[in-house]
Amino acid sequence: MTMVKRRTLLFTKTIITMARSGETFGKKEKEKKRAKDKQEKAEKMQERKANAKKGKSLDEMMAYLDENGNLSSSPPDPRKKKTFKSEEMQIGVPKHEDVEEEAVRTGVVSFFNDAKGFGFIKDKQTGESVFVHVNQLTERITENDKVNFEVEMGHKGPSAINVKKIV
């Protein structure tokens, strides 16, 4: 029995002595990469210092715009200079001009509710639905009647006024 115990002790000692070092392969590789990057950075800095010109002149630093608005290193030709009158220049978006539409339009009544007193007219010209109220009728209308009407902008959109049935 003593021999078996000795062998186990020797075996455990061997395992203990074969333990890994504190640095792993990944740590060593990262450290090598950092050192390499640091060396490259120092070399680039030395190269910039060697190639740097002391005291660049103003002419070397100037950039010009040519007649097309592109950058160039030479000044523009004064003969190609264009002049503009400030009165003719328009800055911003032009004002919206109201286009007069036909005063009287034609359409077909697509829906009308007598009980509630409103409906909609499908405009033949634009194809949009226009709201109509019973107070704007000159005579009684029903669905699918052809009508003439004028359009007025109401609180919630276009409304038909002066609605007349076409015979």
Question: Residue 78 has what pLDDT?
Answer: 82
Of 81, 140, 77, 146, residue with least CA distance to 109: 146
Residue with the two structure tokens 């608005």: 69
Percent of the chain with pLDDT over 90: 35
Cα 22 off chain centre by? 53
Question: Residue 61 has what pLDDT?
Answer: 81
Mean predicted confidence (pLDDT) in 27-51: 93
Per-residue pLDDT tens digits for 9-31: 555 555 555 555 667 888 999 99
What is the end-to-end Cα distance of the chain in Å, rounded?
126
Regarding pTM above 0.85, the answer is: no
Q: Tell me the average pLDDT of the chain.
A: 82
CA distance 53 to 43: 18
Per-residue pLDDT tens digits for 136-153: 898 899 999 999 999 998
In the numeric block, which tokens belong to residue 115?
A: 């009980």
Per-residue pLDDT tens digits for 54-90: 666 777 788 988 878 888 888 888 888 778 888 888 8
Look at strands 158-165 and 129-133 and give their pairing: parallel
